[in-house]
């Protein structure tokens, strides 16, 4: 059984979040503990725990993560300077919330990928 996380409650608007975008496939909201001036999470509406659980059926939602990330980067005014997109998987990847999501980070130079 796949266990729901707090992100499902945000998607259903049952708990507050700073939601920037929502459609039938994905929801985007500001990270509660931002690591950069712009730190936004783009999550699949469908509960997919990790990248390891992906199948070809998810490809539309995965494509949407990227197009929505690009749209929000433009809205945030960080598209020209640049930004970083991150998807963490399991323990070594530092995943904390087991509901697939992409981090959009920008607004300052982010430095090396892995410290
Ligand atoms: P990850 O380590 O990739 O699983 O990232 C999970 C992210 O979710 C972290 O950056 C948290 O700060 C963020 N987060 C956890 N709970 C919330 C919440 N209620 N609203 C917004 N962001 C959250």
Output the CA angle 16-22-23, nearest 5 degrees: 145
Ligand 1 atom with the shortest distance to the CA of 96: 4
For the chain, domain boundaries: 6-106
Helix (H, G, I), strand (E, B), or coil: what is residue 11?
helix
Which phi-psi region, left, alpha or beta, contains residue 2 (left: φ > 0; alpha: ψ -120 to 50)? beta
Q: DSSP characters for 57-78? A: GGHHHHHHHHHHHHHHHHHHT-
pLDDT at 114: 81
6 lines ligand 1 (CB under 6 A): yes
19 lines ligand 1 (CB under 6 A): no
Return the structure tokens found at 114. 């892995």
pTM for the structure as a whole: 0.97
Q: What are phi and psi of 101, to 5 degrees?
A: -155, 155
Options 39, 58, 99, 101, the catalytic residue = 101
**Would you write out the chain's pLDDT as a tens digit for each of its 115 residues?**
588 999 999 999 999 999 999 999 999 999 999 999 999 999 999 999 999 999 999 999 999 999 999 999 999 999 999 999 999 999 999 999 999 999 999 999 999 988 6
- What's the CATH number for 6-106? 3.30.428.10
Give yes or no: 103 in active site: no
């Amino acid at each position: 059984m796949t266990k729901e996380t707090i992100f499902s409650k945000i998607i259903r608007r049952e708990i507050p979040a700073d939601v920037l975008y929502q459609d039938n496939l994905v929801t985007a909201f500001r990270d509660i503990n931002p690591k950069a001036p712009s730190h936004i999470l783009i999550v699949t509406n469908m509960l997919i725990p990790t990248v390891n659980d992906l199948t070809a059926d998810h490809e539309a939602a995965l494509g949407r993560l990227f197009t929505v990330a690009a749209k929000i980067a433009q809205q945030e005014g960080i598209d020209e300077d640049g930004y970083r997109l991150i998807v963490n998987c399991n323990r070594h990847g530092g995943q904390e919330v087991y509901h697939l999501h992409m981090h959009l980070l920008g607004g300052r130079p982010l430095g090396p990928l892995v410290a």
